[in-house]
Amino acid sequence: MNRDSSKILVVENLVKYYGEGENQVRAVDHTDLEIERGKFTAIVGRSGSGKSTLLHLIGGLDRPDEGKVWIEGKDIFALKDDRLAEFRRKKIGFIFQDFNLIPSLNVWENIVLPLGLDNRNVEEVLEKIGIADKKDAMPNALSGGQKQRTAIARALVTSPAMILADEPTGNLDSQTELEVMSLLKSCVKDMGQTLVMITHDEMIAQMSDRMIEIEDGKAVNC
Ligand code: ADP
Ligand code: MG
């Protein structure tokens, strides 16, 4: 079961196809990857190349047709659904383009409730992310940058093995984009976090330690 547990992430021969016959889409097509702890990896590639599908598989949000994903040496798809969900909650921090906040919960609740956390840590993370003064605010009273900071706080608060981000600055103006990026970069640097981020943006990709290009469901240049 343990395969190179020095690597935070190992992906082997991963396959995910949608549809059948001539309508079949090879979203992830026999992809291998290895990612080191404490690094910022950017995943780039044109729209429809399979980036989001790959990220969802890496995070155990979906199961592949073939292949394996090891996180900290654990074969995640060997886990049954409820154990995989638990693993995901503890080990993966997700950040999405559209923030995925629950509108009826305030900032604090958005961070604490989905994770079933006790309240330790949360204050500290809110301070670090710069939204401590917004902890009672409802999402619709926040700017885009504040919403994404809330999502970043939620992703960080469990000290996950990896943060997986899908175009996290795609809905932000360019100034806010820079602020959110420098925040994420400092999480990698100061907290030793591992960040895997999909981006369209060449400038953001250049901020990474390593770039992986996805082309027709395959990883190239890595
Ligand atoms: P990217 O994030 O690089 O834009 P995606 O991973 O979203 O690419 O999609 C890769 C391909 O798989 C696309 O052709 C997309 O239409 C298809 N696809 C993604 N999700 C589904 C799905 N749930 N059902 C059918 N096709 C899908
Ligand atoms: Mg996508």
Q: What are φ and ψ of residue 45, in 5° steps?
A: 150, 160
How much of the chain, in percent, has pLDDT values that exceed 70?
A: 95
Give residue 56's pLDDT: 97
- Residue the block writes with tokens 């073939």: 66
Whether the pLDDT of residue 191 is over 80: the answer is yes
Average pLDDT of every residue of the chain: 92
Mean per-residue pLDDT for 143-150?
Answer: 96
Give residue 202's pLDDT: 87
Whether the pLDDT of residue 221 is over 90: the answer is no
Mean per-residue pLDDT for 78-96?
Answer: 95
Give residue 5's pLDDT: 61
More confident residue, 113 or 25: 25
Q: Rounded to two decimals, what is the model's pTM?
A: 0.93
Which of the four pLDDT bands, split at 50, 70 and 90, describes residue 52? very high
Q: What are φ and ψ of residue 187, in 5° steps?
A: -65, -40
Give residue 222's pLDDT: 54
Helix (H, G, I), strand (E, B) or coil at 178: helix
More confident residue, 200 or 146: 146
Which of the four pLDDT bands, split at 50, 70 and 90, describes residue 45? very high
Q: Is 154 in the pocket of ligand 1 (CB under 6 A)?
A: no
Give residue 113's pLDDT: 87
Give residue 115's pLDDT: 75
Whether the pLDDT of residue 132 is over 70: the answer is yes
Whether the pLDDT of residue 116 is over 80: the answer is no
Instruction: Please tell me the residue having the least CA distance from ligand 1 atom 10.
Output: 50
The most distant pair of C-alpha atoms in the chain lies apart, rounded to whole Å, by 54
Long-range contacts of 51-54 (CB under 8 A, 24+ apart): 51/166, 51/198, 51/214, 52/166, 52/198, 53/16, 53/27, 53/28, 53/217, 54/14, 54/27, 54/28, 54/214, 54/217, 54/219
Whether the pLDDT of residue 2 is over 60: the answer is no
Q: Is 18 in the pocket of ligand 1 (CB under 6 A)?
A: yes
Give residue 220's pLDDT: 87
Cα(76) to centroid of ligand 1, in Å?
22
pLDDT (tens digit, 9 = 90+) per residue, 133-143? Answer: 999 999 999 99
Q: Which of 17, 20, 25 to mutate to test the pocket of ligand 1 (most atoms within 8 A of CB)?
A: 25
Cα(197) to centroid of ligand 2, in Å?
11
In angstroms, rounded to a whole number, what is the distance separating the alpha carbons of residues 119 and 58? 28
